[in-house]
Structure 1
């Protein structure tokens, strides 16, 4: 292949592996020749030669939640730009499947793992010893982590509801065993209590199916607005409110957290707090490759800002 392209073996290797010092025009020429010849890398041979497979692992807790396919796509696109492929695994919210998934990725020799754990617990134990790993969203001691400003996002949500004129506000939290969920809901509760009344605070699974206590809180009409700790739950809240003839936002304003793609497709469209998933994914891959390339032993925490996304599910409360 190098002979056909009219370059040295070293230059061909640099182009195919995305390494070395090579001009863009030369790299493009080599890759075009390789494509015409139908050249395919032998990953096993590459791994034996370089000690790397060119593959990363991505461990996610629930691909039925629209938040995670969006994150997966961002990670895959970023990795592809760096000439890496990505093996994606869904642990279905199970710590047992999480352990099995991580073990499988390690056994297949991935160069590193981007891990969105089920909870804030190191279920992997020593499985990840020596395997570059970056954690997204969760807080697990000993791992570099990529997070958003969850507390700041919770305050933004509460502030938006208060500025819209709401004085009696409820909170519907996701599972409270997750620190990032507690941070966003605690910050929202603190702001609400400083500027009005916290009508209720209840907990729901990461699901559109609502728990009886959540339904009871909504039916009580004790709040004119509600902050929901995750968009997936917020979609369930809006659906249930409308099923009991409680108009959103005329009778109940709803604000979520995450800005999943479905948030724009509801009627009304969901006002929410945006987490910059593309930037977080890009940084997760970059941080992982820094660890694989430099063998760095970093324990950093990188925090991204959140932002309010105003749509149609929040308005001023009706006069009673």
Structure 2
């Protein structure tokens, strides 16, 4: 016996349609006007709560999903923001990305995430791709303080993380204070001969971390060497040679990833942390407390910074003419087991 087709307003007709249900079909199935169906689904307009719940229930049964492309054409907004990060292999950045995604979701935005892998060319491609996809705004963690990306991104509401770039809203931590806290902690523990491994010179935040530490060390102790390294576990030859000189009883590094690389090299020299060399990192990545020994480091409030970046971007998208804002977060020394007290 043949089975008759279900009536158009039967929710079971979803499978028969073999395609995405339309708003018009939702309105018909719910027995309301097209306008009321739109108000109910978009949370806008004048529609009673009972009607709203009924429409949403019918929409769910039909498998209705708003057509974001059509909405974007109508409103000029995609409901998406872009997040440009330099290196997702560094555990700091996935934590930051998670914070941005959660904060954006709370504001009703989805996030397009791209990793530039520390490449200027990839950073330019990422910006072009996000602009081509019509994101409503961008949160950008630049590779360096200068470069052509800033001009590419002009006209799109943008918040910059980490770098104090002119013309942009900026979210930062007090990097120099972090360097000072690290140096003061080592000196209080009795260390006199201290080495500093800073991050890449092209990044102002890396320079500020090192400068804050060096100023204190030069005033109250002995700076035995100062070298630079990429934000990486792999050490530059100059960094390896500095550690091999065994001049420093304590080392301050510009990032936890660098610190862990230094600890690995110290171990390869037959030395121990903190028995022979004490170390302090910066960032408090998830690995820091899992390492052996657990790493003393400078903590940045990543979740707060991510939330502030999203909130600042939402404000900027709503009021493009507002004055530029710069928000600086405090940092905190996290004491663990990688520093030995000498006195």
Establish whether TM, by shorter chain, passes 0.5.
Answer: yes
Q: Which residue number corresponds to residue 136 of structure 1?
A: 161
Q: For 1:49-104, what per-residue CA distance to the aligned partner results, in whole angstroms no more than 9, with x for missing partners?
A: 22100111011111111111111111111111112111111111111111111011
Deviation at 1:6, TM superposition (A): 8.3
Runs of 4 or more, structure 1, over 3 Å off, are 1-37
1:84 aligned onto 2:78: no
Give the aligned partner of residue 180 of structure 1: 205
Which one of 328, 332, 335 corresponds to residue 303 of structure 1? 328
When normalised by structure 1's length, the TM-score is 0.91
The structure number with the bigger radius of gyration is 2
Alpha-carbon distance change, 201 to 83 in structure 1, aligned in 2, over 3 angstroms? same
Distance 1:197 1:108, change over 3 A: same
Unaligned runs of 5+ in 1: none
Corresponding residue for residue 52 of structure 1: 77
For the 8 Å contact 1:122–1:140, the answer to whether it is kept is no
Q: 1:275 is matched with which residue?
A: 300
Q: Equivalent of 1:61, from 62, 66, 86? A: 86
Normalised to the residue count of structure 2, the TM-score between the two structures is 0.85
Q: Which residue of 2 aligns with 1:224?
A: 249
Gaps in structure 2 of 5+ consecutive residues? 1-25
Asked if residue 96 in structure 1 is aligned to residue 134 in structure 2, the reply is no
User: For the Cα contact (< 8 Å) 1:17–1:83, is it kept in 2?
Assistant: no
**Any conservation in 2 of the 1:184–1:229 contact (CA below 8 Å)?**
yes
Cross-structure match for 2:261: 236
From 208, 213, 223, the counterpart of 2:238: 213
Kindly indicate whether the alpha-carbon contact (under 8 Å) linking 1:290 and 1:296 is maintained by their aligned counterparts in 2.
Answer: no
Residue number in structure 2 paired with 1:286: 311
Q: Any idea what the Cα deviations from partners look like across 1:126-173, whole Å, max 9, x if unmatched?
A: 322221000000122111110000011111111111111111111011
In the alignment, which residue of structure 2 is the partner of 1:190?
Answer: 215
Decide whether the 8 Å contact of 1:270 with 1:313 is kept in 2. Answer: yes
Going from structure 1 to structure 2, the CA distance change for 1:192 and 1:20 (only over 3 Å counts) comes to farther
CA contact (8 A) 1:98 1:123 kept: no
Give the Cα–Cα distance (whole angstroms) in 1 for the partners of residues 162 and 152 of structure 2. Answer: 20
Q: 1:31 Cα shift? A: 5.3
Separation in structure 2 between the aligned mates of residue 200 and residue 21 of structure 1, nearest angstrom: 69
Q: Indicate if the aligned counterparts of 1:18 and 1:83 stay in contact, CA closer than 8 A.
A: no
Mean CA deviation greater in 290-299 or 83-92: 290-299
